[in-house]
Amino acid sequence: MIRHPSRIVGLILVMAAWSGAVVLLAPRERDSAAPDFGGACRDGRPYLVTACYAATAGDPAPRLPSVVLFQDTPADGPHHMLAGHDRIGAVWGLAYSPAERALFAGAFRKRGVALGPGGPGAIYRVDLATGAVATFATVPDAAAGDLSIAGDDAAARSEAGRVGLGDVDLDPSVGTLFAINLNDRRIYAFDMADGRLRTAFDHGAVGESWAAEARPFGLGLRGRRLYHALVRDAAASGDPADLEARVYSSAYDGSDMRLEAAVSLGYPRGGLRQAASGEAMDLAWRPWGDAVPPSTSDALSVGPQPMAADIVFDAAGNLILGLRDRLVDMTDPALAAGSELAIGAGDLLLARREGDGWRFAPDAPGYDDAIAGSSHSAQGGLAWVASPGALVSADLGRVPSLVSGSELRATWYDGSGGQKQAAESVCPSGQALPSLWAAPEQAADAPVRRALADTTTFSAPRTAGDVEALCDAEAETDRTEPDARLWLPWSDLGR
C-alpha cells in the first residue's frame, strides 16, 4: 500500500417530455450524519465516492454496496455505503451537486448485476443529508428491448457498452445535468430542479463515414463547455488500425460542436502476466466483438476493448481521458466457478493543452497505472482533486486470479508527474458496509428487482465504476473558468 506523507489526498428544440421523477425509497427526515465535505476538501483529505458491483444473481443484495463513500485512510476504512444494490442496482456515472448535497448516479448495464428499479435509463438522486433515494429522471430509449436478466445473463455480452447509460455530469450554476445514452448514442440534458428533459443532441462524430462505429461514453465540463469522449470501435472492419479515441466539445445545447483531441489506439500497451510462470498476454486494444476470448482452466480471459469512459482536467488545463476495458462488463462480476471471467485493463491518457486545443503524444503516454504483473490497471473512472492537486483513478490493486481473487483500489496520482502517491482499497469482497446514516430505514414496499435465476456468490469483483470527489471548491473551479467560446445560459435560449 502506497501512502503519501501528507495523505494526498441560440435556437433549440425544447422538449417537454417529463421523466416523472418518482421517489422510490425515501426514508423519513432525520438529522444529517453527512460529513463536512467542503471542509475535508479544504483540508486536502476529500471524500470521494465510487460505484461497486456485486454479483446479484438470485439475491437483491440489500446490504451490498452499489455506491461507496471513502477517503484516503491509514487502514483502508472506515468506508460507508450510500446506496445498496437493492436501491439503485448497477450504476456507472456519478455527479455531485454541492448546493443540494446530493449525488446523482446513472444506470449501467453490466453482466450478472441487476439494474435498479428505475430500469436501464434511470438517473438516481441520493440525498446526502437524509439518505433518501429517488429516480431523478429517466433517459428515454436507453435500451432496444427488455433487459430482464436470465440464466447466465449471456445477453450482456453484446449489450455491454451498447445499452443503458454511460457517464453523467452536471453544472449546478445553470441547473443542468447531462447523460450519455449508450443505446441511441445521444447526449441528454435535464433540468436539475425537476428532472425535465431540456434537450438532446448527437455526438460529435455523427457526420463521419464510420459513425455507426462511434461509441460515446465519457463526459466532462470546463469553461462552460460540455466535453464528450468516444471511441471508434472498429467492429465492422475488425481492423485494430481503425481504433481511435476522440474528445469533442460543444455548447450546453449541442451547438458549436468541435473536435478537441484525437488519438489512435494502436500505441503499444505492454502485457499482463497472470502467474509468475505464465505466458505474458498482449494488452493491445482490439476491435469490439461479442465473444469472450478463450482462457485456460486456471486463468482469466484477456482481450481489451476500449471505451472512452471519463474526462477530467488538471490544474494546468490538460485533459485526462480514462479508458475502460469493455470485456470486464461482458463477463461475470465475481470470481464464480463456471462463469466466463475476464480481466479489464484500461488506461489513463494525457492530452496536453496546446493553444486552443489538446494533443495526445504519439505513443499516448499518460499516468503510470502499472501494477505487478500488468502494464495497466485503470478501470476508467476518474476524479480530479484540486487540493492537493491529484488525479484519483479506480484501479486494480493486483492482477486477479482464480486462486488469490482480486483487489480494487482508488489510486492517487501526483498531478505534475503522474506517479502513484496513495491508494485506498475499495469495493470489498462480499462485505456489507455500514450506512452513512446512523439509522437508515428500509421501505416496506421496496420493489423486487430482476435477478439471475441461478445463485452465485459475490466473491471478488474485478472492476469498479466512476469516481467522484465531493468537493465544493473543485466544482466552482472547473465549471466557471472563463472561456471566449459560445455559451448561453438556459434562461437566455430562444430570446
**CA 322, 149, 69, 196 torsion-angle sign:** positive
Residue type, 87: R
Residue 161 has pLDDT above 90, yes or no: yes
pLDDT score, position 60: 54
In this predicted structure, what is the pLDDT of residue 473? 46
Position 205 scores a pLDDT of 98
DSSP state of 110: B
Whether the upstream peptide bond of residue 117 has omega within 30° of 0, thus cis, is no
By three-state DSSP, how is residue 92 classified?
strand
Q: Cell numbers at residue 34, please?
A: 453527512
In the block, cell 480494487 appears at 408
pLDDT (0 to 100) of residue 429: 72
- State the DSSP string of 189-257: EEETTT--EEEEEE-TTTTSTTGGGEEEEEEEEETTEEEEEEEE--TTT--GGG-EEEEEEE-TTS-S-
From CA 287, how far away is CA 243, in angstroms rounded? 7
The CA distance from 341 to 322, in Å, is 22
Cell of 301: 480471459
pLDDT score of 476: 39
Report percent pLDDT > 70 for the chain: 80
DSSP 327: G
| pLDDT over 70 (residue 483) | no
Instruction: Strand 122-127: give its sheet, edge to edge.
Output: 23-25, 133-138, 122-127, 102-107, 91-97
Contacts of 354 (CB under 8 A, 6+ apart): none
**Helices marked H in 173-308:** none
Q: Which three cell numbers stand for residue 275?
A: 502467474
CA distance 486 to 224: 9
**Averaged confidence pLDDT in the chain:** 83
Phi, psi of 370 (to 5 degrees): -70, 145
pLDDT of residue 145: 79
Q: How far apart are CA 240 and CA 445, in angstroms?
A: 50
- Give mean pLDDT, residues 431-441: 70
The confidence score (pLDDT) of residue 182 equals 98
Radius of gyration (C-alpha) of the chain in whole angstroms: 21
Q: What is the pLDDT of residue 59?
A: 56
8: pLDDT strictly greater than 50: no
Distances (CA, A) of 35 to 46, 71, 119: 10, 11, 30
> What is residue 167's three-state secondary structure?
strand
Residue with cell 457526420: 207
Mean pLDDT of 437-459: 38
- On whether the CB atoms of residues 377 and 395 are closer than 8 A, the answer is yes
Across 394-422, average pLDDT = 89
Instruction: Report pLDDT digits (tens) over 336-376.
Output: 666 788 999 999 999 999 988 899 987 867 899 999 999 99
Give Dmax over CA atoms of the chain in angstroms: 68
Helix (H, G, I), strand (E, B) or coil at 159: helix
Give CA–CA dist 139/142, Å, rounded.
Answer: 6
For the record, the C-alpha cell of 449 comes out as 428487482
Pick 333 or 205 by higher pLDDT.
205
Mean pLDDT confidence for 9-38: 47
Q: Domain extents for the chain?
A: 23-486
Q: What pLDDT band is residue 460 in, cutting at 50, 70 and 90? A: low
Q: What percent of the chain has pLDDT over 90?
A: 64
- Name the CATH superfamily housing domain 23-486: TolB, C-terminal domain (2.120.10.30)
> Hey, is 39 helix, strand or coil?
helix
CA–CA dist 167, 162 (Å, integer): 13
Query: CA-CA distance, 332 to 113, in Å (whole number)?
Result: 8
- Using one digit for the tens of pLDDT, what is the confidence trace for 292-322? 998 877 789 999 999 999 999 999 999 999 9
| Residue 24 pLDDT grade (very low, low, confident, very high; cuts 50, 70, 90) | very low
Cα–Cα distance between 169 and 148 in angstroms, integer? 27
- How does pLDDT run across 193-230, given as a tens digit for each residue? 999 999 999 999 999 999 999 999 999 999 999 999 99
Return the higher-pLDDT residue of 244 and 487.
Answer: 244
